[in-house]
Structure 1
């Protein structure tokens, strides 16, 4: 059964309504949309590290149950995000 989504005069009225009515009841009233999910492009890059650093990274990754490349990628992404947010 299609239920029409109500209109609201205020955000507070809408907030109170949705707090007591499941949104799932209105799924059929929503228009169908088509989306395309595109994975981010990846490029390979070689990086020379001191052997003892790479050994330490591999040990940490093993402790965490991750492939060492995945751990390194996560660290790089985290640092990049932090550096970009500082500006």
Structure 2
């Protein structure tokens, strides 16, 4: 049987900034017994996004906006959906 590691007591933090500063200068292994950690899943987190610039012919953008309006979705969301579907379809 593995004996749990003795850890230091965490201080009380008044603000998130104070806690952030603490963790920037302290090793978490002194405060957390990572051997007791269990995997976690966070299925409802939104994936990170990155803003890009994409130049489209005006006529094409207008056609996309018409299609998005028919589906009652934002045109940028429709573009993302189409791109994801196309990538999935062409994946090796």
**Given the two structures, how large is their TM-score scaled by the length of structure 2?**
0.52
Q: Which has the higher helix share?
A: 1
Q: Write the distance in 2 (CA, Å) between the matches of 1:71 and 1:40.
A: 17
The equivalent of 1:11 in structure 2 is none
Residue deviations 1:57-77 (CA, integer Å, cap 9, x gap)? 001100110000000000000
Gaps of 5+ in 2: 1-37
Q: Write the distance in 2 (CA, Å) between the matches of 1:53 and 1:45.
A: 18
Q: For the aligned residues, what is the CA RMSD?
A: 1.8
Equivalent positions of 1:43-62 (< 5 A) are 43-62=50-69
Number of matched pairs = 53
Q: Does 1:35 align with 2:67?
A: no
Gaps of 5+ in 1: 1-32
Q: Which 4+ residue blocks in structure 1 deviate beyond 6 angstroms?
A: none
